[in-house]
C-alpha cells in the first residue's frame, strides 16, 4: 500500500511541477522564487476548484438518481394544478364580491 501511495504522490508532484514550469516566465526560475510560489498557489486553487466541481457533479447525479425526472415532472404538474385551482377559486370569490 505504501508504494502505491508514494507513486501517486510522485505523479501528482510531477504534474504540479510540469504545470508550473509551463507557466513560468523563465525556465531558470527555481522553487524558491516568488513567481513559482504564486503559481503553486494558483495550481492548488485550480485543483480545489476541480475537486469542488467534481463533488458538485457527483451530488447532482446522486440527487437525480434519487429523484427521477418523471417524479420531478409529476410534482411540478401537481403544483401547477393547485395554482390553477386557487386561481379559479379566487376569481369566483372576486366575481361574487362584485355582485
Q: Note down pLDDT in tens along the chain; length 99 residues.
A: 589 999 999 999 999 999 999 999 998 889 999 999 999 999 999 999 999 999 999 999 998 888 888 888 999 999 999 998 888 777 666 556 665
Domain limits of the chain? 1-52, 67-99
Which pLDDT does position 88 carry in this prediction? 79
pLDDT value of position 96:
62
Return d(Cα 43, Cα 71) in angstroms, integer: 41
d(CA 82, CA 88): 10
Distance between the two ends of the chain, CA-based, in angstroms?
Answer: 84
pLDDT of residue 44: 96
pTM of the model: 0.62
Amino acid at each position: 500500500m505504501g508504494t502505491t501511495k508514494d507513486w501517486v504522490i510522485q505523479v501528482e508532484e510531477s504534474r504540479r511541477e510540469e504545470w508550473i514550469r509551463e507557466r513560468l516566465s523563465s525556465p531558470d526560475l527555481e522553487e524558491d522564487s516568488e513567481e513559482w510560489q504564486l503559481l503553486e498557489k494558483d495550481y492548488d486553487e485550480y485543483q480545489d476548484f476541480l475537486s469542488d466541481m467534481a463533488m458538485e457533479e457527483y451530488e447532482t447525479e446522486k440527487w437525480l438518481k434519487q429523484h427521477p425526472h418523471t417524479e420531478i415532472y409529476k410534482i411540478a404538474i401537481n403544483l401547477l394544478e393547485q395554482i390553477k385551482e386557487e386561481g379559479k377559486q379566487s376569481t369566483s370569490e372576486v366575481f361574487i364580491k362584485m355582485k
